[in-house]
Amino acid sequence: MTEYADHPFASIFPMMAPDEYGALREDIRAHGLREPIWLFEGQILDGRNRYRACQDVGVTPRADTYIGDDPIAFVISLNLQRRHLTPGQKADVALRAEDVIAAEARQRQRTGKGADGSGGRGKKRNLVEKIPQGFSAPKTRDLTAKALGVNPHYVQDQKKLRAQAPALAERVAAGSLSVPAAMRQYREEQQKAELTAAPPTTLPAGLAVGDFRALAADLADNSVALIFTDPPYDRKTIPLFDDLGRVAARVLKPGGSLITYCGQVQLPEALSLLSGHLRYWWLNACVQRDGHNEMRRYGIKSQWKPMLWFVKDTRGDVQTFVADMVSGGREKGVHAWQQAEAEAAYYVERLCPVGGIVYDPFAGGGTTPAVCQRLGRHWIAHEQNPTTAARLIERLETAS
């Protein structure tokens, strides 16, 4: 049996999966080789799987030589309908075509020879002209994508995955993962990595007394993993949600979260104001298991409180599931509006990595700092009332 090497152009299409190859081998064993092995420049241009299957079962392969000026287009035309490729695999094929053409261009620029070794003057000169003088990676990629019937954006995304997430790119090339799903997973992994990155050393730590709208200027951009806070609930303070959203949009890391308690009455306006700066993610519920508040003006016994969840860009770690309902006991030992530590702890543990920063611009009784101190998270807190701030410090000192 004549021995043939693989031509570089043959690598545009991937080898068959084991089950497909097994079926091909058994078909050739039973019926012989139906499609010839195509050669170009004395090497296999198309038919690597058929050639190896023939070797496995002892069938002498029949070979024909391709005569033409566009062997890459020939390979694509033969395999496009024969191979059942996903859009992601086709995108990967377009990149493989770009790679082999670029390599061929570099080789021929070094040697000054055409595809047939004639210095570019043979009848295969058309291919040579396309490569050294007119080669453009994006243009070639787009043309190949068009020939394969695949979205050029998929090709661009697969190229990015190859460079920055090769394991995901391999799954796309194998057909086990779509390009959109791979890109979504890649972005999630990037955001998760950003959230777990070490905080800037220049950030102020601990408690500062004053209005958060002024104090937040000292916080670095893209530095906070989680804002967990409980603003006032009266009508006159509703504009604070706009200020909170503006600060959060600057200081949160991409993929970071803002979770804020909110009164039922303030809910529509708070949602609207925060949505001007961040992406709404979910409406969580804090169930008051140790009692209820009587809203006499509305004739309602309120047994749960909204917790608004907004994110910067998108949530950075969707692999960690978070319940949309928490329940804590009644804790009012430090501040009249104090919230239960169990509620803050639940979200701090899940939305801020160890070593990350939690920011509370309305520190009040200090629930968020106390939880962060216990769970080993960095924290920054602002409290406008000096008396409340003093009691907060006492609480933290007692806890430590």
User: Which residue is associated with the tokens 């020879």?
Assistant: 113
- In this structure, the chain runs to a length of 400
Contact between residue 149 and residue 58 where contact means Cβ atoms under 8 Å apart: no
Would you give per-residue pLDDT tens digits along the chain (400 residues)? 688 999 988 888 888 888 889 999 999 999 999 999 999 999 999 999 999 999 999 999 999 999 988 888 888 888 876 777 889 988 898 888 888 777 777 776 777 655 444 444 444 334 333 333 333 445 555 666 676 778 888 988 999 999 999 999 999 988 899 999 999 889 888 877 777 666 554 445 689 999 999 999 999 999 999 999 999 888 888 999 999 999 999 999 999 999 999 989 899 999 999 999 999 999 999 987 666 677 788 888 888 889 999 999 988 788 889 999 998 655 444 444 446 888 999 999 999 988 889 999 999 889 999 999 999 899 999 999 988 888 888 888 886 6
Q: Give the residue among 264, 271, 311 at the shortest CA–CA distance from 286.
A: 264
Token look-up 């000292």 returns: 218
Distance CA 275, CA 293 (A): 28
> Rounded to an integer, what is the distance from CA 397 to the centroid of its chain?
41
Phi–psi pair at 381, nearest 5 degrees: -135, 145
What pLDDT score does 80 carry? 72
| CA–CA gap between residue 101 and residue 23 (Å, rounded) | 32
Q: Are 231 and 350 in contact (CB under 8 A)?
A: no
Using an 8 Å Cβ cutoff, are 104 and 8 in contact?
yes
List the beta strands (DSSP E) in 262-395: 279-288, 293-295, 300-302, 304-311, 325-328, 357-360, 378-383
Identify the CA nearest to 219 among candidates 350, 358, 353. 358
What is the rounded distance in angstroms from the CA atom of residue 310 to the CA atom of residue 307? 10
CA 392 and chain centroid, separation: 39
Domains of the chain plus CATH, in order, are 8-192 (no CATH), 206-399 (3.40.50.150)
Q: CA-CA distance, 186 to 168, in Å (whole number)?
A: 8
Q: Determine the Cα angle at 67 with ends 65 and 73, to 5°.
A: 100
27: CB partners within 8 A, 6+ apart: none
Q: What is the dihedral of CA 211, 215, 216, 218, to 10 degrees?
A: 180
Question: How high is the pLDDT of residue 120?
Answer: 44
